Amino acid sequence: MCYSVDEMRVLREDYRRTLLDEIAPFWVRHGWDREHGGIHTALNEDGSLIDSDKSVWFQGRAAWTYSTLGQAYGAEGDWTRLAGSCLSFLREHCRADDGKLYFTMTREGRPLRMRRRYAFSESFACVGSAAYAQLTGDERAALEAMAYFERYLEVMRTGGGVEPKVEVATRPMKGLAPQMILLAMAQELRADLGDVTVGGATCTQWIDRVIDEVETAFLKPDLQALMEVVGENNEVLDHFDGRMLVPGHAIECAWFILHEVRVRGGDARLLKLGLTILDWMWERGWDREFGGMLYFTDLKGLPVQEYWAEMKFWWPHNETEIATLLAWHLTGDESYARKHQQVREWSRKVFVDTKGGGDWFGYAHRDGRISTRLKGNMWKGPFHIPRMYWYCEQLLAERLRR
């Protein structure tokens, strides 16, 4: 069975060194806004600022990342201060009068955009606050994490209290994304605060509910696919949106489920479910011609509405790298180690900035040529990449300890 102990040591060291020497410092050095607080993510390839507007998602995400690194590798001062600065920026500037978080802000903290129908800002604020609370013992952050979680549930239940989209009546739909985010939030809250009760259930109960819904509503054994969207009776909607698959996203869901197997010390049903999703969506996403994970594919192999469907984004590769390593860890099945190596090599070849500008590029054409040389924007910042390095390093460390 590959990997050997020696190979694991080398791999682990590579994850650790790249994370601590290159990825984590890049955003501390270039992203942290020491004047106004919080973090900038719109950075050019050399780390220079190309847009001073701030992503609200990334205040929570960066708080999570640097608090998590602090938990794993020791609370280095800058990491804790950066995480705290992001949470302060959220608290002081990013809340509308009714408490709902905005989506983007000016550098100084004036609101630019609100997306009332969505609660992704809340979800990242939740995990950032929880991880920070665990790192520092900050009671207020722990309470805020719970409050963000409850807000998330409320928005999910009420649609943000805004007039529903027209299609809600004509063609009711359910999405995978809100379920997955809920799963990740509940796992993080439990890891940091214990299996607390929030919104009327324990974290573990939320996790079980979500996984049941994923299996019942979105997994289609006859089609060998995990859908992104289904109808109200879990039916496949034979339209562009309904047929659209996002293999990297489904594989992220797979590793959240496999992580649950790891946490529980084994669970045959969840193991089978996570592996099934990973296997099917690897088949649907891996590009046999150019390598890498395609961004969108169509359930029936028809053209996808989005003209960038063929592109290669950094994050599906991060998710696939975690999922395959974790699958190998849980099963010892060599084929997962091979896939792990395959996605790792392809993504390093394509996304790593060999000129040493720091962090990864994010967007490549199908053939692996980089399509934009920025290192961050409102969607790319210190999250998927450090999470991958950290998760894989910790998993290998755990394995090597045994």
- Eight-class DSSP state of 44: -
DSSP H helix total and E strand total for the chain: 15, 14
Which C-beta is closer to a second copy: that of 43 or that of 325?
A: 43
Which C-beta is closer to a second copy: that of 106 or that of 158?
A: 106
Cβ at position 81, least distance to a second copy in Å: 27
Name the 3-class secondary structure at 246.
Answer: coil
List contacts with a second copy (CB under 8 A).
42, 44-45, 50-53, 102, 106, 110-114, 165-167, 170-171, 239-240, 302-311, 313, 362-363, 365-366, 371-374, 377-378
Which C-beta is closer to a second copy: that of 358 or that of 362?
A: 362
Which C-beta is closer to a second copy: that of 76 or that of 310?
A: 310
CA 117 to the chain's CA centroid: 20
Angle separating helix axes 176-193 and 139-158, nearest 10 degrees:
160
The set of residues, in sequence order, having a beta carbon less than 8 Å from that of 54 and lying 6+ positions away, is 33, 38, 39, 40, 41, 89, 104, 105, 106, 107, 109
Q: Are 391 and 69 in contact (CB under 8 A)?
A: no
Q: Are 53 and 104 in contact (CB under 8 A)?
A: yes
Q: What single-letter amino acid sits at 338?
A: R
Cβ at position 56, least distance to a second copy in Å: 12
Query: What are the DSSP E strand ranges found in 244-356?
Result: 244-245, 297-298, 312-313
The set of residues, in sequence order, having a beta carbon less than 8 Å from that of 258 and lying 6+ positions away, is 270, 271, 274, 275, 278, 323, 326, 327, 330
Cβ at position 112, least distance to a second copy in Å: 5
Cβ at position 348, least distance to a second copy in Å: 20
Let me know the angle formed at the C-alpha of 314 by 350 and 211, rounded to the nearest 5 degrees.
140
Cβ at position 237, least distance to a second copy in Å: 10
Tokens 């004036």 — which residue? 110
Dist CA 188 CA 186 (whole Å): 5
Which C-beta is closer to a second copy: that of 199 or that of 362?
A: 362
Cβ count near 30 (within 10 Å)? 21
Cβ at position 106, least distance to a second copy in Å: 6
Q: What token pair was written down for 387? A: 């999470």
Which C-beta is closer to a second copy: that of 274 or that of 382?
A: 382
Q: What token pair was written down for 270? A: 């969840």
Cβ at position 25, least distance to a second copy in Å: 22
Which C-beta is closer to a second copy: that of 117 or that of 209?
A: 117
Cβ at position 248, least distance to a second copy in Å: 14
Which C-beta is closer to a second copy: that of 308 or that of 345?
A: 308
Dist CA 300 CA 176 (whole Å): 19
Dist CA 25 CA 259 (whole Å): 27
Task: Please tell me the total number of residues recorded for the chain in this structure.
Answer: 402
Which C-beta is closer to a second copy: that of 50 or that of 400?
A: 50
Name the 3-class secondary structure at 78.
Answer: helix
Name the 3-class secondary structure at 361.
Answer: coil
Cβ at position 46, least distance to a second copy in Å: 11
Which C-beta is closer to a second copy: that of 1 or that of 169?
A: 169
Cβ at position 320, least distance to a second copy in Å: 19
Sign of CA dihedral 268, 249, 251, 303: positive
Which C-beta is closer to a second copy: that of 34 or that of 110?
A: 110
Tokens 């719970």 — which residue? 146
Cβ at position 303, least distance to a second copy in Å: 4
